[in-house]
Amino acid sequence: MDARNLALEWTDTTQHWLVEVPIRLAAYLSVVLLVRYLLHRMIDRATTRRSGKSSVEERPQDTKPTLLRRLRPDVPVTTISDQAGTRRKQRAHTIGSVLKSTVSIILLSWLVLAALNVVGVNLAPFIASAGVIGLAIGFGAQNLVRDFVSGVFMLLEDQYGVGDVVDLGEMSGEVESVGLRITTVRDIDGTLWYVRNGEISRVGNMSQEYAVARIEVPVALTADVERAEQVALDAAAQAIEDPTVGAKVLGEPEMLGVQELAPDLLRLRMTLKTRPGAQWSVQRRLLREILQAYDENGVELPYPRGRIHAVVGGSAEK
């Protein structure tokens, strides 16, 4: 009788470990793989452009990834370029990678806990230990978490991208790479700055939608202000007729008038809307043309011209 009971007990134990446990583990693994596949497909659909029949009148906004379509107001159609489309694609790809990794980690953690529960391991100590470890990591890596969260929101809001000229407070320059934790910026001197996303408190982007070239020209106090303004406008309009300059301009030059009155000069200000990143080259070209026009039309500048005469030893020398 004892041998029979022992045989039945061994049979039940063997059935549990060789049949029930593998079946439950296989079922959990299948569910995790299926859910992971479905969620990854949903993320891919949300972070890639809609596919469909091409149309001549297709709006650029319609090609935006679904996830990014309503994250910020649509810009005018005229300002949407291939570069903007590439930036949106890069943002969507990065966000999709983050979401996929998050889904995989969550599902893998659930699978491990479910498997331990199936084999009869008490999960209470593991959960308590995980809570303590998570709390310690949260305190020790709070700067890392802040950098990561700031990077995610920066991508979602499209604050800047690779190739943008930005002002981040203590440094400014061209963005060379954008990550979830670090942004690299190269300044005008060629120095490459590594900036943690969590330390960026403000962003000034000079490469989105359009820029404004600000031209300030000094003239003498005795100069005819109205004539100086007209000469400057004519010189700017003539410079814009050059195809190399006109391709960078989005509007007409606007003379704002006297910007500064100093004891030795008047400073006139003119503005001109340009394409992003082209304001500095347009500004330099217009300054050159305006100064040349002033010289040709006799508009006086506030600084002395010609040779400087010095008195040495009581006699004047040239």
Residues with Cβ within 8 Å of residue 180, at least 6 apart in sequence? 94, 98, 147, 148, 151, 152, 155, 197
Task: Provide the pLDDT for residue 110.
Answer: 87
Task: Provide the pLDDT for residue 21.
Answer: 80
Task: Provide the pLDDT for residue 20.
Answer: 80
Task: Provide the pLDDT for residue 87.
Answer: 67
d(CA 267, CA 12): 97
pTM of the full predicted structure?
Answer: 0.60
Residue 52 to residues 41, 63, 67: CA-CA distances in angstroms? 18, 10, 17
Region class of 268: left (phi > 0), else alpha (psi between -120 and 50), else beta: beta
Q: Is 293 exposed, middle or buried (0-12, 13-18, 19+ CB in 10 A)?
A: buried
State residue 202 phi and psi, 5-degree precision: -150, 155
Of 64, 52, 60, nearest to 89 by C-alpha is: 64
Structure-token pair, residue 58: 């297709």
Task: Provide the pLDDT for residue 7.
Answer: 52
Is 26 within 8 Å of 111 (Cβ atoms)? Answer: no
Task: Provide the pLDDT for residue 147.
Answer: 86
Per-domain residue ranges of the chain:
2-51+58-121, 157-205, 211-297
d(CA 237, CA 315): 48
In 228-248, which positions are buried (b, 16+ CB within 10 angstroms) versus exposed (e)?
Answer: bbebbbebbeebbeeeebeeb
Of 211, 209, 159, nearest to 185 by C-alpha is: 159
Structure-token pair, residue 113: 């806990």
Q: Which helix (H) or strand (E) holds 36?
A: helix 21-46
Task: Provide the pLDDT for residue 268.
Answer: 92
CATH architecture of 157-205: Roll (2.30)
- In 135-178, the DSSP E strands lie at 165-167, 172-178
SS3 260: strand
pLDDT, averaged in runs of 10, over the chain (318 residues): 55 70 87 92 79 44 54 45 65 79 88 84 75 73 82 82 86 86 90 90 86 90 89 92 90 89 88 89 92 89 60 49
Domain covering 211-297 in this structure, CATH number: 3.30.70.100
Is 107 within 8 Å of 36 (Cβ atoms)? Answer: yes
Task: Provide the pLDDT for residue 63.
Answer: 53
For the chain, how big is the Rg over CA atoms in Å?
34
Is 208 within 8 Å of 276 (Cβ atoms)? Answer: yes
SS3 194: strand
Quick one: DSSP state of residue 249?
B
Of 38, 144, 37, 162, nearest to 94 by C-alpha is: 162
